[in-house]
Structure 1
Amino acid sequence: MSDPHPARMPNKEDKRTFLRKLAEFLHPGPDSTEELIETLAEAEDNNIIGAESRVMLEGVIRMADMTAGDVMVAATRMDLLNIQAPMDELLHTVIHTAHSRFPVYEGERENVIGILLAKDLLKLQRAPEFHIRALLRPVVFVPETKGLNDLLRDFRGNRNHLAIVIDEFGRVAGLITIEDVLEQIVGEIEDEFDIPEDEGDIFALADHTYRVSGDTPIERVNDAFTVTLAGSDPDDEFDTIGGLIAHEMGHVPKRGERYTLCGLDFTVLHTKGGAVRWFKVAPAVDSTH
């Protein structure tokens, strides 16, 4: 027997579509990224989502428009290993920088031939007849324009958590890790080498440099390094070293950037929420500011 109401289902579908359109007309959704972020802020204010969830969701949204070139460590700031270097020199670099992965080059720094995991050096202790070349992992190259969403998917899929970023001419522009990408969502990821903020603000390092919190009062930095830090405009007043350096640089500092002031080199180690969390401070070889 034929269906006495063959058009009922299509009508029902059409009715739902109409209601959906009507709801969207009465309560239009966000038309831009900024409006969407404002909607998230309203959701937090209304206790629909928590503060941490909002920050993470904002990170996901903003990351969609970011590329590897936006968050990479610039080539001039990369810590690389020379495959021809003596083992003592390699170990010193690994211990001093405290990274877990290192690009390895042969000849020129541009010629990156592989990635060395610091833990793999332990294998040389057991079998010193091995050459470091046998320990190298394949190197992954990505263009500066590669989107962070795509890069994160690649990192998760191929289990290579470090990639070399190249520019439009095929030259090494920098490097990026899965941690760099994830930090755009969840903020800075602390590891065993990070120091809790409540344990101090200036730390002496083994190479006679210092690690200084961006929240350190300028007066404390002046006392510690016997300097008188001040901005280029005497009318400007700053409470923290991070605020002063950011003002002098004229933009939000990024990891790896360096600024020289009053005979001190300030290298940005970590940033969080648009502010510098940690500097590496050393006497300037040639003071230019």
Structure 2
Amino acid sequence: MENDTPFFDPAALQDPTTWIIAGVIFLLLVCSGFFSGSETALTAASRGKLRSIADKGEWGGKGAERALELKEDNERLIGGILLGNNLVNILATSLATALFSTLLGEGAIVAATLVMTALVLIFAEVLPKTYAINNPEVSAARIARPIGFIIGLMAPVVAIVRLLVRGVLRLFGLRIDAGANMLSVHEEIMGALTIGHQEGSVEKEQRDRLLGALDLHERTVEEIMLHRSGIEMIDADADPEEILSQALQSPHTRLPVFREDSENIVGVVHAKDLLRAIDRLTRGDNAPGLAGFDIADVAMEPYFVPETTTLDDQMRQFLRRHTHFALVVDEYGALGGLITLEDILEEIVGEITDEFDTPDAPVLRTDAAGNYTIDGAMTIRDLNRATDWTLPDDEANTVAGLVIHEAQTIPLPGQCFAFHGFRFEVAEREQNRLTKLKIRRL
């Protein structure tokens, strides 16, 4: 039995309705490309760059302001764009099926599917999205106003869709807050710096300094303080000559003063104040000499801070109090160590030395096996910064502390451990302290 339906009907091309439908399909594809490009531009655009464009008042300043307003509620923005995009895509596909039915008859569905898939993929998806992803801020500033108007028109429908979506998500125990940012600005900057360093556009020193400044609010004084075992102190009951000699030989400008017990800190003496007092006592014919010296007369009141204070807060306190020196105490009030403003600044800019600092031996040394021999008191953060490693510092501040935590014991010299992808060997131990360690990546 022969099929009387022609595969192609030339007479349909002479019908004005055919060309009107084709023109409408073309306009719908343009609208689909507009929605697709708008979605990519507004989601990929950096809020920081948009704010910079808006603040400079350059071309697109008003558009950048509008784009920032739209990005404040991403759920509403994406809902409106996807609603418009799906409407025009479905309508274009339906019209294309009707048009091909007139032109091709029985082969219309297959032909419409293939042709519309190709057109939508190339001209309504890949092309506009490629342009938008390469110029996200410029594209976002240009399309912000029209897309904002369209989203406003679709607001009632989008609101209903949002309620339905949230209702479905609640069935799975998920709750979405309007306008909530999934990635904080702090994390976004840290991620950008890390990626920039990996790609070579950000130097290691620049990355370390910026990350150090961003981390101040998350770190405490306990992590970077000088432990009490390393604090140089002045005995208030010592002879004046001994005190003067100690102050002159010390590389430090400020020294804590204790009386009877090292836990009993009664003051902090500044080298300048000490020398001024000595000068007054020793100059002149009627000067009483060092015998009349009392360190309590020149010592300042000690400034104590809890070990849980964040570095950001402590730096503010140093600046507010016009002091650079604080003694750190634990929750029981026992002396734990000391911290200075220089210690905090070193977390940002790296090691700061002057003409009075004692030069340290090289911190990192490698042997033939690739082991780094390090001081056990070296902080995990400093080791990570020097080697670009990612050893965790949640449970311990120093490398020795990390080894003890993981080993659950104080290991003996020669013992080896492997954890977090690294091999640790105890090289030296003094009493209960691990003084030297060898470490290499497995």
TM-score range, shorter chain: 0.5 to 0.7
SS in 2 for 1:102: strand
Q: Which residue of 2 aligns with 1:187?
A: 350
Structure that is richer in helix per residue: 2
* Alignment deviations for residues 161-219 of structure 1 (CA, whole Å, 9 cap, x no partner): 111111111121111111111111111111113467xxxxxxxxxxxxxx532245779
Q: Distance in 1 between matches of 2:247 and 2:214?
A: 35
Q: CA deviation at 1:41?
A: 2.2
Q: What are the equivalent positions in structure 2 for 1:88-237 lying under 5 Å apart?
A: 88-128=241-281, 129-194=292-357, 212-215=361-364, 237=369
Superimposed CA distance per residue, residues 132-169 of structure 1 (whole angstroms, 9 cap, x where no aligned partner): 21111121111111111110001011111111111111
* CA gap 1:144/1:243 in 2 versus in 1, 3 angstroms: closer
* Contact in 1 for aligned 2:376/2:400 (Cα 8 Å): no
What is the aligned partner in structure 2 of residue 252 from structure 1?
Answer: 399
Deviates more, 1:130-139 or 1:156-165: 130-139
Task: Note the C-alpha offset of 1:73.
Answer: 1.2
Instruction: Report SS of the residue matched to 1:182.
Output: helix
Pairing partner for 1:242 from 374, 384, 388: 374
The farther-off stretch of 38-47 and 135-144 is 38-47
Quick one: distance in 2 between partners of 1:241 and 1:91?
38
Instruction: Name the CA distance, whole Å, in 1 between partners of 2:211 and 2:333.
Output: 33
User: Structure 1 residue 42: deviation in Å?
Assistant: 2.4
Query: Which residue of 13, 17, 41 corresponds with 2:69?
Result: 17
Structure with greater strand share of residues: 1
Tell me the secondary structure at the aligned position of residue 111 of structure 1.
strand
Report if the CA contact (8 A) 2:277-2:298 is conserved: no
Offset, 1:125: 3.1
* CA pair 96-218 structure 1, distance change in 2 beyond 3 A: farther
The aligned counterpart of 1:60 is 213
CA–CA separation in structure 2 for the residues paired with 1:242 and 1:177: 24
* Structure 1: tracts of 5 or more residues without a match: 1-11, 197-210, 220-236, 263-283
Q: Write the deviation string for residues 25-65 of structure 1: whole angstroms up to 9, x where unpaired.
A: 79987458666423112234567655433221100122211
Deviation readout 1:230-280 (Å, 9 max, x if unpaired): xxxxxxx45554279979xx95269xxxx9x99xxxxxxxxxxxxxxxxxx
Q: 1:117 to 1:218 in 2, by over 3 A?
A: farther
Change (3 A) 1:193 1:87: same
Aligned residues with identical type, % of pairs: 28
Larger Rg: 2
When the two chains are superposed, the root-mean-square deviation of aligned CA atoms in Å is 4.3
When normalised by structure 1's length, the TM-score is 0.61
- Contact 2:377-2:399 within 8 A present in 1 as well: no
CA distance in 1 between partners of 2:316 and 2:193 (Å): 25
Aligned length: 222
CA 1:46–1:242: 2 relative to 1, 3 Å: closer
2:376, 2:399 within 8 Å by CA — same for their partners in 1? no
Taking the aligned partners of 2:196 and 2:190, their CA distance within structure 1 comes to 10
CA separation of 1:189 and 1:167: change in aligned 2, threshold 3 A: same
Amino acid in the other structure paired with 2:326: A
TM-score by length of 2: 0.42
Which 5+ residue runs of structure 2 have no aligned equivalent? Answer: 1-63, 79-132, 137-180, 282-291, 381-396, 402-409, 414-429, 436-442
- Alpha-carbon distance in structure 2 between the residues aligned to 1:124 and 1:42: 55
Contact 2:212-2:348 within 8 A present in 1 as well: yes
Which has the bigger relative contact order, CA under 8 A and spacing at least 6?
Answer: 1
Paired letter, 2:399: V
